Amino acid sequence: MKVKKIIIIGNTASNLYLFRKDFITSCINEGYRVICLVSEYDDEWINKIKSLEAETVTYKLSRGGLSPLKDIKSLFYIKCIIQKYKPDIVFSFFTKPVIYGSLAAKLAKTPKVVGMIEGLGSPFTEHPNGQSFKMKIVRFFQISLYRIVFPFLDKIIFLNRDDPIDLVNNNKIYHKSNAVEVLGPIGLSLDDYPYELWDESQEVSFIFVARLLAEKGIFEYLEAAKIVKSKYPNVKFKIIGGLDTENPYGLSKEKLDKVITTGMIEYPGFVNNVTRHLVQSSVFVLPSYYREGVPRSTQEAMATGRPVITTDVPGCRDTVLDGVNGFLVPKWDVNALVDKMCFFIENPEKINIMGKESYKIACEQFDVDKVNKKLFKIMGIHD
């Protein structure tokens, strides 16, 4: 009997392992031979992928920037890999792997080609002062490449309802009928994020978990914290996430150090026990305006039973039922953010009530086993 094969094309090995390990394991349990292609890697993460009984193949593909000649070279290299393995399915995720991996799969005559768009990212992120000229150029090229690739994709999977409208419909990108699907969150293993009631004897505290970038709402969070602390000095504000000094919209180390010195926030730096920090906090806050798929940090906070304050923007709005498990606020609106923070400070009994609703939503929508079954159905990998 012929063993079915699936090639999964991502970029970083760590990302593929952390966010795709349950999917890889499920594919193997379905009898598939799984071959993972990664372009950024080290031995530790490669070995972790191999520990799942999947195979790994490395390739070169620059994640950012416009380098057509290098990208075309990568395209033909990926095509050679696909021709060698002759898979039944090629499944790519993230922008460049979807574009070049899918093109390579088409050239290699793969029977089924699937791409997942996990949020529209920086090219579609609207900034308060408008987009940079460079990002407008990137967006133009990205849409142009999607026009080439989408017509032959068998399935184009999005994580939220807004992305296919803003990318496919508004730009009139041709695709096969019934190709576009909305999966919802990619999900997480709920066992890794156990539900825990907030200790009501503790002072109310807020936590922000994300890279320290403007798009993720770090500046709105800091400004809101300053205003709230002036009114309620004992309230705690925590930040978990790394600096991105290469990003022009990032929080600088100098600014971060200055804020820490004032005692306004707690910043433990890099941590590998985010769950503990979540359950020790009362309310999760993500004032992001980045074009998310569905933010994973919010899913993790909800699984642990924390109410959420986030923005009414694509991706983020898919996690909160306003007034039920938290609140949606307009992007860039610090006063609205302060208002909702004060609500929890003045009504602490609502924290566990709304947190329980977050947990219910997590069980219904974020359970990775349920998500993978839905993904299998979309891709035609039947139980």
Rg from Cα positions in the chain: 21
Same domain flag for 153 and 50: yes
Q: For the chain, how many structural domains are there in total?
A: 2
Single pTM value for the model: 0.93
Same domain flag for 167 and 226: no
Q: Which residues pair with 156 in a beta bridge?
A: 115, 180
CB 327 within 8 A of CB 333: no
**pLDDT tens-digit profile, the chain (383 residues):** 678 999 999 999 998 998 899 999 999 999 999 999 999 888 899 999 999 999 999 998 876 666 778 888 889 999 999 999 999 999 999 899 999 999 999 999 999 999 999 999 889 999 888 888 888 998 999 999 999 999 999 999 999 999 999 999 999 999 999 999 999 999 999 999 999 999 999 999 999 999 899 999 999 999 999 999 999 999 999 999 887 777 777 888 888 888 888 889 999 877 888 999 999 999 999 999 999 899 999 999 999 999 999 999 999 999 999 999 999 999 999 999 999 999 999 999 999 999 999 999 999 999 999 999 999 999 988 64
Same domain flag for 73 and 49: yes
Same domain flag for 27 and 164: yes
What is the Cα–Cα distance from 262 to 257, expressed in whole angstroms?
9
Token output for 122: 């920086």
- Residue type (1 letter), 211: R
Same domain flag for 169 and 206: no
User: What is the bridge-based pairing of β-strands 308-311 and 283-286?
Assistant: parallel
What is the Cα–Cα distance from 91 to 110, expressed in whole angstroms?
11
Tens digits of residue pLDDT in 363-376: 999 999 999 999 99
> The domain that contains 289 carries what CATH number?
3.40.50.2000
Long-range contacts of 174-180 (CB under 8 A, 24+ apart): 174/147, 174/150, 175/150, 175/151, 176/151, 176/152, 179/150, 179/153, 179/154, 179/155, 180/156
Give the max Cα distance, the chain. 70
What is the Cα–Cα distance from 174 to 151, expressed in whole angstroms?
6
Same domain flag for 172 and 236: no
Same domain flag for 142 and 28: yes
Q: Which residues pair with 158 in a beta bridge?
A: 117, 182
Same domain flag for 182 and 199: no
Same domain flag for 141 and 228: no
CB 314 within 8 A of CB 288: no
Same domain flag for 260 and 134: no
What is the Cα–Cα distance from 82 to 104, expressed in whole angstroms?
8
CB 83 within 8 A of CB 108: yes
Tens digits of residue pLDDT in 46-93: 999 999 999 999 998 876 666 778 888 889 999 999 999 999 999 999
Same domain flag for 150 and 198: no
Same domain flag for 355 and 253: yes
Torsion sign over Cα 82, 85, 87, 90: negative
DSSP 7-65: EEE-SBHHHHHHHHHHHHHHHHHTT-EEEEEESB--HHHHHHHHTTT-EEEE----SSS
Strands (E), the chain: 5-9, 33-38, 55-58, 89-93, 112-117, 155-158, 180-182, 205-209, 236-240, 283-286, 308-311, 326-329
Structural domain harbouring 121: 5-187+367-379
In this prediction, residue 64 carries a pLDDT of 63
What is the Cα–Cα distance from 241 to 224, expressed in whole angstroms?
18
